């Protein structure tokens, strides 16, 4: 199978068969398949949604859509009796929770419904998952063995990596995830960029960096959703997403454990990079579940270029 290509034969490969052919260990591929299945349930809830706020706030003080809470409960309940997960950490919970007997192999981190505020505008949103074998806190090394995200858009797609490249699947009408692209590879230099945060709040160094991208002819592509914007960079074969340090928020907005680590894992598997402007995202020490970090993620040329501007 050619890299980054799609044809009829390849589309006949479903998720379970692909993971088996790729040599993913049995328990891990069963867990990935189970999470992918949960994505179908979350998608159904999105379509059923009445788009009304639940009337309370999540642990980070943001308005929480009912869909956020429901998606978290669906995911946690499905994993609780899976036999594969001993701990679960979610953006909707205050801390890591034990959901198994303690003997299970994996720890799962989740942003169950990233971008839920976009639901009423009918823009794409998603689910982000990280799978670890070791503790996710107090370590400055990568403990992740797999990551995936699901995009709920005109099509439901899933990108996963178990350390053997990044692969895209499309959910068909029969409810099967079929291989669309295998071993996606980013170009060293892209042509699109997605800059988060208000321009007035950017630091001078970041502003100069973005102005240089604009001078170089990069096309602005920003939806306000992390999953669809990352997916666009990945599927288009290159570019950059950034949510930088802001004047009043030096750690940025996005959460290291639930959003940045899984996406960094996938992006690196596709030949890209992810940093906070200086250090690799996967090398940062996670000291709390709600820890945030600036991010520059995408093609290597743009990520290196950002580091040069930020060091000035």
How high does pLDDT run on average in the chain? 90
Q: Average pLDDT in the 181-210 region?
A: 97
Rounded CA-CA distance 209/240 in Å is: 12
Instruction: Give a yes or no: residue 187 inside a domain.
Output: no
CA 248, CA 115: separation in Å to the nearest integer? 22
pLDDT for 51 beyond 50: no
Tell me how far CA of residue 173 lies from CA of 46, 153, 155, 178, in angstroms: 17, 14, 10, 11
Instruction: Name which of 85, 136, 135, 312 is nearest 207 in CA terms.
Output: 312
% of residues, the chain, pLDDT over 90: 78
Question: Global pTM?
Answer: 0.91
Closest CA to 157 of 210, 219, 230: 230
**270 domain residue, yes or no:** yes
Within a domain: 91 = yes
- The lowest-confidence range among 48-57, 101-110, 287-296 is 48-57
- Do 162 and 27 sit in the same domain of this protein? yes
- Tell how far CA 263 is from the center of its chain: 4
Least-confidence region, from 133-137, 236-240, 291-295, 297-301 = 133-137
**Cα 176–chain centre separation:** 21
Q: Which residues pair with 170 in a beta bridge?
A: 157, 178
* Same domain? 26 vs 169: yes
For residue 152, tell me if it sits in a domain: yes
Write down which residue in 153, 181, 209 finishes a domain.
Answer: 181
Q: Which residue has the higher pLDDT, 280 or 59?
A: 280
Same domain, residue pair 209 and 289:
yes
Q: Is 3 exposed, middle or buried (0-12, 13-18, 19+ CB in 10 A)?
A: exposed
Residues 245-254: tens digit of each pLDDT: 999 999 999 9
The average pLDDT across 251-262 equals 97
Q: How confident is the model at residue 120 (pLDDT cuts 50, 70, 90)?
A: confident
Range of the domain at 281: 192-310
Instruction: Give CA separation, 252 vs 41, 246, 255, in Å.
Output: 31, 6, 9
Instruction: Measure the CA–CA gap between 62 and 56, rounded to whole angstroms.
Output: 9
Q: Which residues pair with 177 in a beta bridge?
A: 171
Would 3 be classed as within a structural domain?
A: no
Mean pLDDT score, 91-117: 92
- pLDDT for 45 beyond 90: no
Domain identity same for 174 and 243? no
Show which of 181, 204, 228 is a domain's final residue. 181
Are residues 260 and 303 part of one domain?
Answer: yes
pLDDT of res. 154 = 92
Number of domains in the chain: 2
pLDDT of res. 63: 45
Residue 284 lies in a domain: yes
Angle at the Cα of 77 from the Cα atoms of 76 and 80, rounded to 5 degrees: 80
pLDDT confidence of residue 67: 85
Nearest to 127 by CA among 41, 16, 24: 41
Kindly indicate the confidence band of residue 12, based on its pLDDT and cuts at 50, 70 and 90: confident
**Given 147, 181, 215, which residue is the final one in a domain?**
181
């Amino acid at each position: 199978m050619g890299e980054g290509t799609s044809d009829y034969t390849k589309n006949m490969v479903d998720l379970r068969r692909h993971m088996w052919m790729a040599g993913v260990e049995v328990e891990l591929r069963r867990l990935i398949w189970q999470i992918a299945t949960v994505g179908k349930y979350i998608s159904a809830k999105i379509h059923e949604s009445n788009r009304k706020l639940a009337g309370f706030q999540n642990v980070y003080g943001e308005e929480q859509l009912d869909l956020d809470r429901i998606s978290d409960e669906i995911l946690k309940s499905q994993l609780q009796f899976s036999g594969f997960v001993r701990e679960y950490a979610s953006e909707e919970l205050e801390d890591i929770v034990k959901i198994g007997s303690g003997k299970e192999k994996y720890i799962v981190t989740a942003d169950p419904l990233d971008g839920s505020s976009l639901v009423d505008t009918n823009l794409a949103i998603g689910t982000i998952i990280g799978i670890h074998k070791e503790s996710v806190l107090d370590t400055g090394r990568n403990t992740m063995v797999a990551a995936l995200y699901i995009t709920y858009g005109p099509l439901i797609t899933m990108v996963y990596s178990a350390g053997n490249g990044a692969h895209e699947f499309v959910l068909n009408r029969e409810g099967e995830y079929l291989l669309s692209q295998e071993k996606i590879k980013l170009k060293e230099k892209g042509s699109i960029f997605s800059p988060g945060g208000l321009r007035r709040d950017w630091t001078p160094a970041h502003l100069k960096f973005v102005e240089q991208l604009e001078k170089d002819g990069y096309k602005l592509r920003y939806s306000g959703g992390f999953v669809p914007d990352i997916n666009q960079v990945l599927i288009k074969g290159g570019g950059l997403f950034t949510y930088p340090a802001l004047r009043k928020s030096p750690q940025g907005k996005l959460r290291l454990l639930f959003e940045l680590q899984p996406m960094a894992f996938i992006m690196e598997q596709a030949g890209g990079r992810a940093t906070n402007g200086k250090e690799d995202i996967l090398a940062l020490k996670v000291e709390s579940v709600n820890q945030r970090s600036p991010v520059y993620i995408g093609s290597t040329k743009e990520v290196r270029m950002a580091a040069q501007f930020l060091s000035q």
